[in-house]
Amino acid sequence: MSDQKTDSKTEQTLLKVAGYEGAGKKQFSGRICILFCFAIAAFGIYSLLVFLGLAFQKGYSGLASFSMGFVFAALLVGALYTSSYMAKVRAAKRRLFCKLKRLNREKSAPHKEN
């Protein structure tokens, strides 16, 4: 009887973990979808500016450059997340932050004079 109780608790725990993981993936997918929708809108703005011949005029060139830069950044983020490189980027970011944190602690620690 005890074994069945343990199995059902383990099963419930696994179901909860799977539910949390599924919710996280759904939230992440929603954010990526929003990012791509904004990228499509930015590309539309850029296309409109090029079509109207305004993309290289003084007042509109900044908007055109920003639009294309946003589209490029969104495509880059999408490519990183769909490849195996994002895990490597996250690991490198963690290492960098740990090093910076350690350097800040060493810097702010009082120096002992001999």
Note the pLDDT tens digit of each residue in 9-32: 887 877 777 777 777 778 888 888
Residue whose entry in the numeric block shows the structure tokens 């001999």 = 114
At 114 the pLDDT is 52
pTM for the whole thing? 0.63
Question: For the chain, how long is the longest CA-to-CA vector?
Answer: 79
Give the domain ranges of the chain.
Answer: 2-83
Q: What is the mean pLDDT of the chain?
A: 85
At 3 the pLDDT is 62
Which residues lie below 8 Å from residue 61, measured CB to CB, with a gap of 6+?
55
